Amino acid sequence: MKSSIPNSQFKNPVINWIDTRLPIFTAMNEAVGTDHPTPKNLNYWWNFGSLAGVTLVIMIITGIALAMNYTAHVDHAFDSVERIMRDVNGGWLIRYIHMNGASFFFIVVYIHMARSLYYGSYKAPRELLWILGVVIYLLMMATAFLGYTLPWGQMSFWGATVITNFFSVIPFVGEPIVNWLLGGYTVDNPTLNRFYALHYLLPFVIAGVILLHIVALHRFGSNNPLGIDIKSDKDMIPFHPYYTIKDFFGLSVFLAIFCVFVFFLPNFLGHPDNYVPADPLSTPAHIVPEWYLSPFYAILRAVPDKLLGVLAMFGAIGILFILPWLDRSPVRSAHYRPMYRVFYVIFIVNMLALGYLGVQNPEGIYIILGRTCTAWYFIHFLVIMPLLNIIETPKALPKSVSDPIFSSGSSGLSPAASRKLK
Amino acid sequence: MSKKKSRRDFIVIASYSMGAVGAGAAIWPIINQMNPAADTLAMASTEVNIGALEIGQALTVKWRGKPVFIRRRTENEINDSRQVDINSLRDPQADEERVQKDEWLIVMGVCTHLGCVPLGQKTGDGKGDYGGWFCPCHGSHYDISGRIRKGPAPENLEVPPYSFISDNVIKIG
Amino acid sequence: MKRLLLLSVFLLPFTTFAAGPEVKGVSKDWGFLGPFGKYDKSSLQRGLQVYTEVCSSCHSLKYIAYRNLSDLGYNKNEIKAFASSFTVVDGPDDDGEMFERPGRPADFFVAPYANDNAARAANGGAYPPDLSLITKARGGGANYLYSLLIGYKEPPESIEVREGLHYNKYYSGNLIAMPQPLYEDGVEYADGTNASIEQMAADVTEFLTWAAEPEMEARKRTGIAAISFLLIMAVLSYIAKLQIWSDVKKKKA
């Protein structure tokens, strides 16, 4: 009898009994446990993936708590948020965590993306892993925008008005589509209600795409700072206990920084105008997006034509989808790409500049700067990236992670890369 | 070696334990936010003017979102409820313990079985076998002192905290 | 290099907001600033008096209830007495009529006007905003409010003050619809403090900062505890990390 069941191999009999029938513990072990081999040379930039996961969990939990106290009606939304801040037990804490959590989610994800860009994590065979990541990023932007509408302050209202108006540039059907999105002729109660429903839904969609993101990650394992394929088991260590403790340490530091904002600078990343109740009859003097959408807002404004501006903005995000095919260099890590390294730094500075310009009044020097930075954004992806493969001579790659002996020529390239070269 | 190892285990366990404690502490506000909020608690008392109520009439008021039955009882009703043998009751309680002024019975209009509102306040309502209230959900009968006499309810109708501010005004809560 | 990059990414949100629209005004060294900052209760009480006697004739404070005044150091009976000095419109009663009754601690601060349109009509079309969130809803916060209140001066000759407007040194554009609210000895402080314009402005600003952020003291207290806890956790887990990784690092060397 006993032998007919292929038993799991856990010491704890209860876990073993369950796992034999429902292998969730095996799955966990393969995801973040002792059965998940990981390159042993990952640096701290690799912490941000798990940090993003934790941040999403924090956002969902605090979000559900807020939803229990929030009223999605134009006459009550602002008041219900103030009631959360003043009367609900610990309400101010939950809301400030959720509010600042959105910003920190983006900080973490931006660093995660910057890591990927520097170490070439988006390259073959991880193109779909990257694309799923961009999908998550898009969903995050949508969720953040929808959520920002809910407190029904001035920025909520006018942000929703401006962003939904993007769709009016669509030829012929733009106007009907905007009215369909809004459920009326202006941002009003139907808009608030549907935004609330979608804001509640999207995080779970994000969680689903994250699952796919992880499945794709485990297909070929993590990239590493050297960007070479790992050939021997000697260069691998199990995720647990090594990366669990490292991620845990990173999480402690991250949460400490997060708490500085939640408890001491809760409104630093927000805008004062959102503490003024929405007024459909008066637009605030300066409407600015939240900082994490600011670079794209700068791109939108850089183009003097309405349709082209919106296209440029969406194009700026869309371009990320084809990045794995724009960058033809077989070498992943910027460590071994002297020219790409320089352009990478320029790109990051350019992004920061766009972020800065997005919250400035579009006048004088800012207009020229905005256009230059926008142009550079596209040049970087469409011209520099493909060109580098031709003009750049990569440094010699080490043979393995633990054996950083430099070899010359193409023999030192990763197998995937050398296959490409043939 | 083993000494070294146990010290290492201790620090690892200590740091993860801190994580568990921290997570536990962080979960508390999430649970506590579901408790009544400060504005809800502040509305915990209500004042009722009962001056217009004639003998034999009833009034239902809302307190903390629940109905409170106020009944100005007749001489007969008071006598009836005082003649009952207390020991025969499921939840033995003398009528004198349940009222501050004999004429005025003030009880929560919430059946102690599963929380329905018993009938008997309106003139057309059935008042049950004991002339008080009858709960239509599962057939509990209460007498004119709000005590459970028949049916599944385990306890008498609850008497809320109240006080007479003047002859005509009571404060509930 | 890497460090610099990390730093710059963390600083991104700071840089983007460093140049927001600021009202150039006076910066006061408020006691409630800083990680250990607390409200000054006697100043809060004086501020309540200034609000009640001056501001409240035009400005509502709708998110504050009388019961909240316990934060200012008042006891239950004092709050009850204060609340009952206001008339609250309640109803409808059994006859369908609205009726008036004295305020209760659970009531929110009674507004000077029945609705926004009445407020606008009574103030020449300029709506006097609710003050519950005023220090959070204006760039510059407490300093903005304080500057504005002490900013009523004689207009320089170059500026033409139109009918219905008033010159204010610290208001953007210098012309404000609100007439000067505070004058020397405009209120007689219960605690005998000299009621200079600066004193009243500071007190009412302290009070309205509290009204906007009544949770501030609890927030900062919790923050100190949470961050200390996390820093200890970070140090411990870093030691644990070093120990667990020691065999990997050794092999490498």
Q: What pLDDT sits at residue A404?
A: 56
Residue A241: cis peptide before it, omega within 30 degrees of 0: yes
Examine the pLDDT at C12 and tell me if it is beyond 60: no
Chain C residues with beta carbon closer than 8 angstroms to that of B19: 233, 237
Residues of chain A with CATH 1.20.810.10: 44-287
Subunit contact A90:B33, Cβ cutoff 8 A: yes
A 392-411 residues with CB below 8 A of C?
Answer: 402
> Cβ-count burial of A422 within 10 angstroms (0-12 exposed, 13-18 middle, 19+ buried)?
exposed
Neighbours of A251 (CB within 10 A): 21
Q: Tell me, what's the pLDDT at A414?
A: 45
Q: Which of C:137-176 have CB within 8 Å of A? A: 137-139, 141
Q: Taking 90 as the threshold, does the pLDDT of residue A142 lie above it?
A: yes
* Chain B CA closest to residue A249: B15
Runs of H (alpha helix) within chain C: 2-18, 41-53, 76-84, 116-122, 141-150, 197-212, 216-252
Mean pLDDT calculated for residue range C25-37? 93
Cα–Cα distance measured from residue A196 to residue A143, given in angstroms and rounded to the nearest whole number: 10
- How far apart (Å, rounded) are the C-alpha atoms in residues C185 and C180? 14
Question: Which of A89, A95, A255, A262 is the best residue to mutate to test the B interface, defined by the most B CB atoms within 10 Å of its own CB?
Answer: A89
Tokens of A240: 């647990």
Helix A154-165 to helix A127-149 angle, to the nearest 10 degrees? 130
Rounded Cα distance between A21 and B25, Å, is 34
CA-nearest residue of chain C to B13? C240
The answer to whether B106 touches B58, Cβ cutoff 8 Å, is no
Is C22's pLDDT higher than 60?
no
| Average pLDDT of span C164-180 | 90
CB contact under 8 A, C220 and A264: yes
Q: Is B40 on the interface with A (CB under 8 A)?
A: yes
Report the residue of chain C nearest B4, measured CA to CA.
C243
Looking only at the bridges linking them, the beta strands covering B169-172 and B46-49 are antiparallel
Q: Is C34 exposed, middle or buried (0-12, 13-18, 19+ CB in 10 A)?
A: exposed
In eight-state DSSP terms, residue C57 is G
Rounded CA-CA distance C168/C179 in Å is: 9
**In this predicted model, what pLDDT tens digit does every residue of B11-67 receive, in sequence order?**
999 999 999 999 999 999 999 999 999 998 888 788 888 888 888 888 998 888 899
Maximum alpha-carbon separation in chain C: 90
Of C12, C20, C245, the CB nearest to A355: C12
Tell me the average pLDDT across C58-84.
Answer: 95
Q: What angle do CA A80, A83, A86 make, to 5 degrees?
A: 155
Separation CA C54–CA C44 (nearest Å): 15
- Answer yes or no: is pLDDT of A420 > 50: no
Size of interface B-C (CB pairs under 8 A): 35
Residue C81 banded pLDDT, cuts 50, 70, 90? very high
Nearest chain C residue to B16 by CA distance is C237
Set of chain A residues whose Cβ sits within 8 Å of the Cβ of C145: none
Taking an 8 Å Cβ-Cβ cutoff, which residues of chain A contact chain B? Answer: 61-62, 65, 68-69, 83, 86-91, 93-94, 241, 245, 248, 252
Task: Read off the pLDDT band of B124 (50, 70, 90).
Answer: confident
Chain B contact partners (≥3 CB pairs within 8 A) = A, C
pLDDT number for residue A252? 97
Architecture of domain B40-172: 3-layer Sandwich (2.102)
Q: What is the pLDDT of residue B49?
A: 86
Determine the pLDDT at residue B2. Answer: 57
Residue-level pLDDT at B168: 87
- Residue B70's SS3 state is strand
- State percent of chain A over pLDDT 90: 79
Q: Which of A90, A104, A115, A112 is nearest to A55 (CA)?
A: A104
- Judged by a CB distance cut-off of 8 A, whether residue A272 touches chain C is yes
Question: Mind telling me how many Å the CA of A273 is from chain C's nearest CA?
Answer: 5
CA-based nearest residue to A148, from A90, A187, A91, A109:
A187
pLDDT band with cut points at 50, 70 and 90 for residue C187: very high
Judged against a pLDDT cut of 50, whether residue A17 lies above it is answered with yes
**Of A415 and C85, which is predicted with more confidence?**
C85
Q: Which residue of C has its CA nearest to B14?
A: C236
Residue C135 clears pLDDT 90, i.e. is over it: yes
Q: What is the pLDDT of residues C92-116, one digit of tens each?
A: 877 889 989 899 899 999 999 998 8
pLDDT at residue C25, rounded to an integer: 83
The reply to whether residue B12 touches residue C244, judged by beta carbons under 8 angstroms, is yes
Q: Report yes or no: B60 at the A interface, CB cutoff 8 Å.
A: no
Contact between residue A256 and residue A250 where contact means Cβ atoms under 8 Å apart = no
User: Do the Cβ atoms of C105 and B42 come within 8 Å?
Assistant: yes
Q: What is the mean pLDDT of residues A335-349?
A: 96
C250 confidence band (pLDDT: 50, 70, 90):
low
**pLDDT bracket for residue C23 (50, 70, 90):** very low
DSSP string covering A331-386, please?
---GGG-HHHHHHHHHHHHHHHHHHHHHTS-S-THHHHHHHHHHHHHHHIIIIIHH
Q: Which helix (H) or strand (E) holds B79?
A: helix B75-83
pLDDT in tens, B64-111: 889 999 999 999 999 988 988 888 899 999 998 999 999 999 999 999
For residue A87, the chain B residues in CB contact (below 8 A) are 37-40
Band of the pLDDT at A403, cuts 50, 70, 90? low
Say whether C148 sits in a helix, a strand or coil. helix
pLDDT band at A352 (very low <50, low <70, confident <90, very high): very high
pLDDT reading at C11 higher than 60: no
Residue B22 and residue C67: Cβ atoms within 8 Å? no
Residue A363 binned pLDDT confidence (cut-offs 50, 70, 90): confident
pLDDT at C8: 47
pLDDT per position as a tens digit, A33-90: 888 899 999 999 999 999 999 999 999 999 999 999 999 999 999 999 999 999 999 9
Touching check for A76 and chain C: CB below 8 Å?
Answer: no
pLDDT of C253 above 70: no
Q: What is the mean pLDDT of chain A?
A: 91
Contact (CB, 8 A) for B130 and B88 = no
Q: Give me the pLDDT at residue A421, please.
A: 40
**Selected residue of C94, C228, C229, C233 to mutate for chain B interface (largest B Cβ count, 10 A):** C233
Res. C233 pLDDT band, cuts 50 70 90: very high
CB of C226 less than 8 A from some CB of A = yes
Exposed, middle or buried: residue A273 (CB in 10 Å: 0-12, 13-18, 19+)? buried
Which numeric CATH code is attached to A44-287? 1.20.810.10
This prediction has a pTM of 0.89
Ordered by start, the domain boundaries in chain B are 1-35, 40-172
Binding-face residues of C in 172-201 toward A, CB within 8 A: none
Residue A409: is its pLDDT beyond 70?
A: no
- Its sign, for the CA torsion B98, B102, B108, B112, is positive
Min Cα–Cα distance to chain A from C43, Å: 21
